[in-house]
Amino acid sequence: MTLLVALKAVSDLLLPTIMADIIDIGIAKSDIDYILQAGTIMITIAIFGGIFAILSRYFASKISAHIGADLRQKVFEKITYLSFHEINQFGASSLITRTTNDITQIQNVLGVALRLAFFAPLMLFSTLFITLSKDFQLTIVIISGTLLLMAFMTIILHFSIPLFKRNQKMIDAINLVVKERLNGVREIRAFNKTQFEEEKFNKKSLELQQISTTANRLLSALMPAVQLTFSVISILLVWYGALRIENGSLQIGELMAFLQYSVQLVLSIVMLLIVFIVIPRAKVSIERVIEILDIENEITDNGTEINSQGRGKIEYRHVSFFYDKPRNKDKKILPTLDDVTTILEPGKYHAIIGSTGSGKSSMIRLLERFYDPTSGEILIDDIDIKKYPNKYLKQIISVSSQKVEILSGTIRSNVDINNCLTDEAVIDALKKAGAYEFVEKLKDGIHHKLNRSGSNLSGGQKQRISIARALAKKSLIYIFDDSFSALDYKTETKVKDALLKALENKTIIVVAQKIQSIQNAHNILVMDQGKLVASGTHQELKKNCKIYQEIINSQKNTEIYE
């Protein structure tokens, strides 16, 4: 790459001198042979110069595209492993801009920089060296013009660079509005907020427009300035050169070569200028990308233990947890989980019950290591879960989470996420989850296409797909977090019976709000405001636990109806 650029510079530098010789020697002495000979050399050099230019452009694009792709891959991988804390810290929309727009900026700049960062200074200094060695006075004319131009450029850059920074931030903001608009499209329409959202978008879009217009206006002053400088230099050169030709101290060919060198000089300054414009612009993007690559993952993955004898015994030991660590000691923030200690025996059916916000799902999220406890520890089969490799931990726990995530694809690809099951196994899981009854009615059966986030399924259908997905995975521990809430009582009982039978000898945790759903569990944990207030069977809790009795009383009416 460097060689190509250097060869192109040499060819550009040779041409004006040869031309000067053609004029001063060939034309002045009417030496046709010399003109033809030198002309042929000029054409050959020009052709090679062109080839070098094309090749350097080709390689620059290739290299920058490769680096861009690598960077994108790295950032994407990093994002995949970020903890929820870290994702919230940046915001999903900023992460999207950083993986797309910012990396494209870096890639574009790299393409330009690879070609020009070396070529421009090389041309600048060699042209100066050649002109100085040929004629000192004429070079002074050129230098004073270029110095003026450089001063002007510095001022413009000084004002435009901060604008680029704001430009990227504005793109983040616009992404956020669009994302919210798309995710919340139903709510926005239902609450007649369409106009409000449009105004919000227009406002952000207008701000972005203003910033980029101002930045581009500033930059657009550069080209006229370059042309003006170039014209002034040419006029001065011709005027002063003519005087020198008159008194015989300069030849016409030399003056013409000087004119060409002055073009090259101004052009190399413009190229340098482009490098100076694009590099700060990329610097903003590079910093934003590095910020992501530099994150030390909060959830470490350096465990190596694997327990092949494990049966899925779970133990919470004095587990306390804050989503946001309290920074100010005076301000009392209640923990989401408060000193939870319990053992869930393997191969049994456990349930967690408690009012909304009492910390049930948080207990599951900690078990899955989406977060680590603020204090205390969680053990599976008597080993701290931090000591297991994350991959292994994910393998031994199968969760149907409260917020069902459907990925774009087919019903089959949603049940068999790792694409390792036979059609029969997928259908079996769907049957046990009570989902096959609606799947078999679809024209394409398990190959029925699902939209992103499952918008072409009902809430209960989505839940059943999610249950089937959890069942299809071979694990030790199966967790169903509020997975039956959208099912009617009859379907719920049928599905639950089927899955209890299918998961015999596995550790099962069902999170629920209705006592009716879990009363035959071997062990029920009662959560209240982050605390584990009691555990036992339905009969034991009914006798001994006040909060459990309160829940029963509050749900009595519904039981009568059912």
Ligand X SMILES: Nc1ncnc2c1ncn2[C@@H]1O[C@H](COP(=O)(O)OP(=O)(O)OP(=O)(O)O)[C@@H](O)[C@H]1O
Q: Which residues bind ligand X (CB under 6 A)?
A: 323, 336, 354, 356-362, 402, 482, 513
CB of 463 to Mg ion, least distance (A): 14
Cβ atoms within 10 Å, residue 166: 17
Q: Which is nearer to ligand X, 513 or 519 (CB)?
A: 513
Rounded to an integer, what distance in angstroms lies between the CA atom of residue 545 and that of residue 552?
11
The letter for the amino acid at 344 is: L
Partner whose binding site includes residue 362, from ligand X, Mg ion, none (CB under 5 to 8 Å by kind): ligand X
CA dihedral 134, 135, 138, 143 (to 10 degrees): 70
CB 208 within 8 A of CB 174: yes
List CB contacts of 10: < 8 A, sequence separation 6 or more: none
State both tokens at 35: 């003109």
Partner whose binding site includes residue 168, from Mg ion, ligand X, none (CB under 5 to 8 Å by kind): none
Q: Which is nearer to ligand X, 410 or 513 (CB)?
A: 513
CB of 71 to Mg ion, least distance (A): 37
Q: At what angle do helices 2-21 and 103-134 cross, to 10 degrees?
A: 30
CB of 318 to ligand X, least distance (A): 18
List CB contacts of 142: < 8 A, sequence separation 6 or more: 131, 233, 237, 258, 261, 262, 265
CB 341 within 8 A of CB 318: yes
CB of 523 to ligand X, least distance (A): 18
State both tokens at 188: 């926005």
CB of 217 to ligand X, least distance (A): 44
Rounded to an integer, what distance in angstroms lies between the CA atom of residue 94 and that of residue 79?
11
CB of 78 to ligand X, least distance (A): 20
Listed residue (517, 495, 522) closest to 507, CA to CA: 522
Q: Which is nearer to ligand X, 312 or 359 (CB)?
A: 359
CB 486 within 8 A of CB 460: yes
CB of 107 to Mg ion, least distance (A): 42
Q: Which is nearer to Mg ion, 126 or 361 (CB)?
A: 361
Q: Which is nearer to ligand X, 281 or 360 (CB)?
A: 360
Question: Which residues make up the interface to Mg ion (CB under 5 A)?
Answer: 361, 402
Partner whose binding site includes residue 356, from Mg ion, ligand X, none (CB under 5 to 8 Å by kind): ligand X
CB of 365 to ligand X, least distance (A): 7
Q: Which is nearer to Mg ion, 399 or 465 (CB)?
A: 399
Listed residue (494, 426, 493) closest to 465, CA to CA: 426
Rounded to an integer, what distance in angstroms lies between the CA atom of residue 52 and that of residue 208?
39
CB of 355 to ligand X, least distance (A): 7
Partner whose binding site includes residue 253, from Mg ion, ligand X, none (CB under 5 to 8 Å by kind): none
Q: Which is nearer to ligand X, 354 or 460 (CB)?
A: 354
- Cα separations in angstroms, 186 against 93, 136, 183, 191: 20, 75, 8, 8
- Cα separations in angstroms, 56 against 4, 60, 111, 278: 6, 6, 10, 19
Phi first, then psi: give them for residue 530, nearest 5 degrees. Answer: 85, -5
Partner whose binding site includes residue 214, from ligand X, Mg ion, none (CB under 5 to 8 Å by kind): none
Partner whose binding site includes residue 336, from Mg ion, ligand X, none (CB under 5 to 8 Å by kind): ligand X
CB of 319 to Mg ion, least distance (A): 17
Listed residue (475, 465, 380, 385) closest to 431, CA to CA: 465
Q: Which is nearer to Mg ion, 8 or 360 (CB)?
A: 360
Q: Which is nearer to ligand X, 325 or 501 (CB)?
A: 325
Partner whose binding site includes residue 354, from ligand X, Mg ion, none (CB under 5 to 8 Å by kind): ligand X
Partner whose binding site includes residue 358, from ligand X, Mg ion, none (CB under 5 to 8 Å by kind): ligand X
Q: Which is nearer to ligand X, 94 or 336 (CB)?
A: 336
